[in-house]
Structure formats: structure tokens, C-alpha cells
Amino acid sequence: MPNILILEDDPDVAQAARLALRKLATVAVRQSPDELMPALDAIAPELLLLDMNFTPGASDGAAGLALLHEVVARRDAPAVIVMTAYAEVELAVQALKAGAVDFITKPWRNDRLEACVQAALARRAPAASVAPAADELLGESAAMRSLRAQIAHVGASEASVLILGENGVGKELVARALHRASPRSAGPLLAVDMGALPEALVESELFGHRRGSFTDARESRPGRFVAASGGTLLLDEIGNLPLPQQAKLLAALERREVTPVGSDKPVPVDVRVLAATNRPEAELFDARHFRPDLLYRLNTVVLRVPPLRERGAADVALLVRHYLAHFARGKPARHVDAEALVRLAAYRWPGNVRELRQACERATLLASGPVFTWADFGLTDLAMPAPAEPGLDLSRRERETVQTALAQAEGNISQAAKLLGLSRAALYRRLDKHGL
């Protein structure tokens, strides 16, 4: 289970967050800013939920911003989601510019908090990866060179870009590279994961809402379009956007303005929109699921990120060396034996670079020998199951495949679903069916 640290001086709020998140992660709580750095050292959390105000009555977020700067400057900084009781666009934008991956306003809805945390954990985009080296799209295969050339070419324009590719191929890295190459690079890059958002919240999430516009809307809240103003908005998993919300998104893109839920006053927005999806292209062109007029708005340029198995053995070896060195954290990285390199190159990588990264992390943590062997990476080739045993039926194989994916994803449903190429709902149905 991942570790989450909550820094929040109000014990009731901290407890509410802890209870909401404990099924997703091991959650630790600290109340005073002085306890933050020692806790980061001791716990090394993947994610920090950071309150922005610690002095009674203060609402400018200065204390939180100062802490945020300190946290993101650390080696191996956790991803940071900032929490504020005041729905201030300016503060959220400042925090995002300073390296926070997301923001949430108090009081929150638990499903929204969970979605926000899950998306941050799934992306595991540590704030430290804002540093150019960690954000680099590695790979020397012809496909990766060509992708980098296309990014340099279209990055500088205002064109909408649709980024296609399987799970974990690096679509978000491509979006970051496009943002960095653009005249908007000094503005925020904000990613919204449509796959992790409950349908009922999509609109308020994207366009914001006015106080009192629905039962839980106790404060007005800026939407992502407004928060990303002056920068770039990545609509991730765009293929999951329900049809009614597609119409509203289209209107916002056409008019370059958004109307917060519960308001009749449109707000002008200035964002470059990038969209990404792991759906097969043909599905996006199926008008029963996706509006063609929206598609044409989003796909001025289409970038296809190739699956890792198509990039060749040299790219796999390069990424393995890169991530083993990364996880060795300054110590000399151990070598990988020749057999392991061959098998890593032949492996199908259903979870692509994300899976490779996790395999390298696991090997670094668990292997004790002088060199890494194939077994250390803990990979089971889902595409090449053991020869059929007598009586082995499809249902049993499906159950085993689901179990393997769950083990690889360390129980994380979203990740296991991604490894299997299923939606979370489809995976839950299979868990139910097999009593897992």
C-alpha cells in the first residue's frame, strides 16, 4: 500500500481525511509544520496532503506555499495535493505553479477526495519530476526520436493535440514536454483524469461551481479551466467523458469561456487544451461514444506514443538502466545479468513504461544478490501463460490473470485494471464473478 502523509492542524479535518483515505493507503497525520520534514524523512510518503494555512484566521496560504517550496525542492519529493478552506483561484494556481499536482477545497466530498488522491497516486508524478531530467522522454529507437521531433515541432504552436497510446506509455510525459516547448511554459500545466472523476462531478470539476449550487457546494470553487488559465490543461482519459458532458466541453472550447455550475455568468478562459486516451482510435471515431465535432476540436494534431514492446531491446535496456540508477538513490546501481536483459526485452510489457518502472523499483527493494536476475523483477508474462494443463478452462485462466494483475499492482484496483486493459467497473465485475 502506498503511504500518504497529511499535514493539517485541525484534528477533525485530519481525521476525516484519514478515514476517507485509509482504504487506499497507509495514512499518517501530522499537525504542526515543524513535524513535516522529519515525517517526510521517516515515512517517505508517495503523497502529501498539505494544508495551506496554519495560523488561526490566516487565509493567504503563505505558510503552505513556503512549505510546498521546501517539499518540492527535496530529492524524491512526494506528489503534493494542497488543501485550502478558501476557494481562491490565485492560491490554487500559485500552488500548481510551485509544483503541487492538484488542489482540493475544504469541505470536500469524500468521493472527490478519493478520486483526486487515486489519480495522483496512479500518476505518481512526484513534484520532483518537474525537474527536467526526470521528465525526459527517454528512448533512442526511431519511433521515440520521431516522437520527440514532433513534440518540438507542435509544442510551439497553440494547436490542440490528441495523445494516443496504451496505458503507461508516457502520454502524460508527452503532454509535459508539449507544455514545456510552448510559449505557455511559465503558466501552469494541469491534468484532469476523466477516468477517476465520478460522473456527477465532471462539470463542477472542469467549470467550477457557485456556492450553494448543489447540496455539498458549501463554497464556490474554481474549475480546472480557470485554474489552468495562462497555461495548459491536459484532459486525460478523454474517452471516458460521458456524452452530455462532451457537449458542454465542446461549447467551452468553441466559446473559450466556461459557465460555473449554478451561475449564469460565463467566465473567459485562456488555456491550451491537450487530450489523451488509451482507447483504440476506432472507438473515438464511433459517434455512439464520442461526438465527432468534439473530436475534431481536440485532434488538430494527433501524436501516437508507441507501446514499449515496439521500441526494441535497446530502449528497454536503456529504461531499465535509467530506473535502476534512479531507485539506487545515489548508490552504484547493480548490473542486470544477460539472461534477464534478454527476457526483459522479450517481455510484452502490458503496462508499458510504468510497469517497467515498478519492476525496477521492486527489484531494487527486494533483490539481495550482487546482480539482478529475471526473477528479481517479479514479472509474469501474462501474454505467454504456462502450457495448458488438463482441465484448465477459460474462467480459471481469467481468474489467475486477474490475480496476477492484482499482485503486480499491489492491490491497487486502478492499476490492475490498467494492466489488464479493463475499466475499473469491468475489473470489479470480474472480481465479483471470481469471488476475489
Ligand X SMILES: Nc1ncnc2c1ncn2[C@@H]1O[C@H](COP(=O)(O)OP(=O)(O)OP(=O)(O)O)[C@@H](O)[C@H]1O
Give the residue carrying C-alpha cell 520534514. Answer: 37
Strand order in the sheet with 189-193: 189-193, 232-236, 272-277, 161-164, 301-304
| 253-255-258-264 Cα dihedral, nearest 10 degrees | -150
Nearest distance, CB of residue 55 and ligand X, angstroms: 36
Amino acid identity, position 313:
A
- If the CB atoms of residues 109 and 322 are measured against ligand X, the closer one turns out to be 322
The minimum distance between CB 413 and ligand X, in angstroms, equals 13
Q: How far apart are CA 139 and CA 148, in angstroms?
A: 10
Q: Closest distance between ligand X and the C-beta of residue 405, in Å?
A: 14
Question: Using the rule CB under 6 A, which residue among 137, 143, 250, 295 binds ligand X?
Answer: 137
Region of 61-69, 171-179, 216-224, 238-246 interacting with ligand X (CB under 6 A): 171-179
Could you give the 3-state DSSP secondary structure of residue 261? strand
Which span sits near ligand X by CB under 6 A: 64-72, 131-139, 153-161, 208-216?
Answer: 131-139
Q: Count CB atoms within 10 A of the CB of residue 258.
A: 26
* Minimum CB distance to ligand X, residue 420 (Å): 12
Q: CB-wise, 160 or 415, nearer to ligand X?
A: 415
Q: Which residue is nearest to ligand X (CB)?
A: 170
Which of 30, 106, 418, 430 contacts ligand X by CB under 6 A? 418
Which residue, 133 or 282, has its beta carbon nearer to ligand X?
133
Question: How many C-beta atoms lie closer than 10 Å to residue 253's C-beta?
Answer: 19
Q: Is 179 in the site for ligand X (CB under 6 A)?
A: no
C-beta of 172: minimal distance to ligand X in Å?
Answer: 3
Q: How many CA atoms, within 13 angstroms, populate the side-chain half-sphere of residue 343? A: 16
Number of residues that bind ligand X (CB under 6 A): 19
Q: What are the residues whose beta carbons fall under 8 Å from the beta carbon of 177, sequence distance 6 or more?
A: 135, 137, 148, 151, 155
Q: Which stretch binds ligand X (CB under 6 A): 59-67, 75-83, 134-142, 181-189?
A: 134-142
| Cell (9 digits) for 323 | 530506473
Give the Cα separation of 414 and 123 in Å (integer). 11
172 sits near ligand X (criterion: CB under 6 A): yes
Question: In Å, how far are 121, 132, 180, 354 from 129, measured between CA atoms?
Answer: 14, 7, 13, 14
Among 62, 138, 143, 431, binds ligand X (CB under 6 A): 138
Which residue's CB is nearer to ligand X, number 269 or number 319?
319
Q: Which among 51, 40, 66, 39 has a CA at the least distance from the CA of 14?
A: 51
Instruction: Decide whether 64 or 139 has the Cβ nearer to ligand X.
Output: 139
- Is residue 165 near ligand X by the rule CB under 6 A? yes
The span from the CA of 123 to the CA of 127, in Å, is 11
Q: State yes or no: residue 278 binds ligand X (CB under 6 A).
A: yes
Distance CA 47, CA 350 (A): 25
- State the nearest-atom distance from the C-beta of 167 to ligand X, in Å: 4
Structural Rg of the chain based on CA atoms: 22
Cβ proximity to ligand X: between 141 and 220 the closer is 141
171 touching ligand X, by CB under 6 A: yes
Mark residues 12-51: x for contact with ligand X by CB under 6 A, - for none.
----------------------------------------
Task: Give residues 326-365 in contact with ligand X (rule: CB under 6 A).
Answer: 353-354, 357
**Judged by CB, which is closer to ligand X: 20, or 196?**
196
Q: Which of 64, 168, 188, 312 binds ligand X (CB under 6 A)?
A: 168
> How wide is the angle at C-alpha 284 spanned by C-alphas 281 and 288, nearest 5°?
145
Q: Does 173 bind ligand X (CB under 6 A)?
A: yes
Judged by CB under 6 A, the residue of 123, 209, 272, 430 near ligand X is 123
Q: Is 148 exposed, middle or buried (0-12, 13-18, 19+ CB in 10 A)?
A: middle
> Of residues 167, 182, 204, 220, which one binds ligand X by CB under 6 A?
167
Instruction: Give the closest residue to 73 by CA, choosing from 21, 130, 33.
Output: 130
Letters for 214-253 (x = contact with ligand X by CB under 6 A, - = none) are ----------------------x-----------------
**Cα separation of 236 and 281, whole Å?**
15
Binding site for ligand X (CB under 6 A): 123, 137-139, 165, 167-173, 236, 278, 319, 353-354, 357, 418
